[in-house]
Structure 1
Amino acid sequence: MKPVNTDAYSMILEAIDMGQYRPGDRLVESELADRFGMSRTPIREALQRLETQSLLARDGRSLIVASLDHNQMAELYVVRGELEGLAANLAARHATAEEVRVLREMVEADNKLLNDPAAMARANRRFHKQIHLASHNRYLVQQLDLVHRSMALMATTTLAADGRAEIAQQEHDAIVRAIEAGDGAAAGAALREHISVAFMTRLKLDAAQREEDG
């Protein structure tokens, strides 16, 4: 059985990841305790842990969900692309036949979610996590977990952009085909390209938002 404070941490992190709390939103200990039906002590410990990981920031005496500036976002995508590419490369060489079949089934199932950006975002996280695990490298998985926690600080999913979900699915298919073929170099290149296109989509979304705000 997991410690209670781990549960609190996971639930708050998931709420941020799902956009229930967005960058700049204030997190109040008592409100979170009521929401998740637990005492304030594990909530307090979870908030401290999230602050240590830079997922929360101080605004006076309050804790708010942190936000990423342009440079931080760019740095994150660079690291993500390289680590995810390595994971795909290793998965092509080390994944079991069952793991490869699961990846193929995920791509086929996710094609039915194209009109639901929130569901696509959840499915996308599952797909990428499956590739991480299929790399069979625990240290790489740990580093990718850290990267994906920081990705939660982006307020919107790029999969909501017009046409992005369909293109992402085509990219996922190309990644899996390379893994199925046992071609590590091709799998790594396909996943790095996938992250690059996602980054460009993110930049376009942010530019459009600045124009709207301005």
Structure 2
Amino acid sequence: MNDKSAASVGDNEPAVDTGQGSLAQYVYAQLRQEIRSRQLASGDRLREVDIAERLAVSRTPVREALKRLEAEGVVRFAPPRGFVVVQLSAKQVMELYAMRKVLVGAAARFAAEQASPIEILSMQQVLSQLEKAKTPDEVAGLNRRLHEIIVAAAHNEYLYKSANVLVDALNLLGTTTYSMPGRIKAGLKENKEIVACIARHDADGAERAAQAHVGAATELRLQMLFGGTGT
């Protein structure tokens, strides 16, 4: 496996290939990126004809791309509106965070066993950027980048693919937990501990630190869902 970040998979596929498969991949990548960047938000309608016109393709690759996103749980077919970006229920959010805890922990463990010096240096460079970041969205973006590097450094193809799907689902949540008071400082401390464990090849410590990081985020997400803070 190479060192591509989880967010980059498929995002730069060309549209010039006349094959329907390549065009469907192009549309899929474009729509997924728009969901990740929140250009498309939960509940937004995805009309085949509009997407086809906007991306200069026929409706067939659009339909194929939407079916693929539906299979990944990112969009759903909701008659009579058609396809819409998924809105997660509170139960689904908790299930998502439970899976995130497992995957992030496993990624940190494998990275501690497999990461190269360059990969560790990349993690440390992102930590340096996190120390200077101020806004919740900026911190959230760098936090995603750090964990993409950790996932890539795990060198496990199946973990990599699973993490990709998880990132897409997390982006359906909208407001980041880094908007909560004190989270930026606490999250930085947690991420430093994860990277420190990976750097010294402490697999047990890296897994524990990563799971604690997600556990803290889960508690904040619960507050945002049920405590009247955030949306």
* Structure 1 stretch displaced more, 75-84 or 35-44: 35-44
* Counterpart for residue 123 of structure 2: 103
Cα separation, 2, equivalents of 1:183 and 1:177 = 9
Cα separation, 2, equivalents of 1:212 and 1:128 = 24
* Counterpart for residue 143 of structure 1: 162
Give unpaired runs (5+ residues) of structure 1: none
Identity %: 31
Once the two structures are TM-superposed, the CA of residue 172 in structure 1 deviates from its matched residue by 0.9
Q: Is residue 193 from structure 1 mapped to residue 212 from structure 2 by the alignment?
A: yes
Deviation digits for residues 83-114 of structure 1 (CA, Å, limit 9, x no counterpart): 21111011111101111011001110122222
* Counterpart for residue 128 of structure 1: 147
Work out which of the residue numbers 178, 182, 187 in structure 1 matches 2:197.
178
Once the two structures are TM-superposed, the CA of residue 124 in structure 1 deviates from its matched residue by 1.9
Q: Is the 8 A contact 2:129 2:142 kept in 1?
A: no
Cα separation, 1, equivalents of 2:230 and 2:107 = 37
Once the two structures are TM-superposed, the CA of residue 155 in structure 1 deviates from its matched residue by 2.3
Cα separation, 1, equivalents of 2:230 and 2:108 = 37
More helix by share: 1
Cα separation, 2, equivalents of 1:53 and 1:178 = 32
* Counterpart for residue 71 of structure 1: 91
Cα separation, 1, equivalents of 2:230 and 2:164 = 33
Work out which of the residue numbers 19, 34, 37 in structure 1 matches 2:38.
19
Letter of the 1:173 counterpart: K
Aligned residue pair count? 211
> Alpha carbons of 1:119 and 1:39: their partners in 2 closer, same or farther (altered >3 Å)?
farther
* Structure 1 stretch displaced more, 57-66 or 38-47: 38-47
Once the two structures are TM-superposed, the CA of residue 145 in structure 1 deviates from its matched residue by 1.6
TM-score, normalising length: structure 2: 0.83
Letter of the 1:44 counterpart: R
Give unpaired runs (5+ residues) of structure 2: 1-12, 15-21
Which aligned pairs between 1:2-41 and structure 2 lie closer than 5 A? Answer: 2=14, 3-41=22-60
The root-mean-square deviation of aligned C-alpha atoms, in Å, is 2.0
* Counterpart for residue 163 of structure 1: 182
Q: Is the 8 A contact 1:85 1:189 kept in 2?
A: yes
Cα separation, 2, equivalents of 1:104 and 1:170 = 13
TM-score, normalising length: structure 1: 0.89
> Alpha carbons of 1:104 and 1:138: their partners in 2 closer, same or farther (altered >3 Å)?
same
SS of the counterpart of 2:84? strand
Cα separation, 2, equivalents of 1:160 and 1:33 = 36
> Alpha carbons of 1:169 and 1:7: their partners in 2 closer, same or farther (altered >3 Å)?
farther
Letter of the 2:64 counterpart: E
Letter of the 1:136 counterpart: H
Once the two structures are TM-superposed, the CA of residue 6 in structure 1 deviates from its matched residue by 1.5
* Counterpart for residue 50 of structure 1: 69
* Structure 1 stretch displaced more, 49-58 or 192-201: 49-58
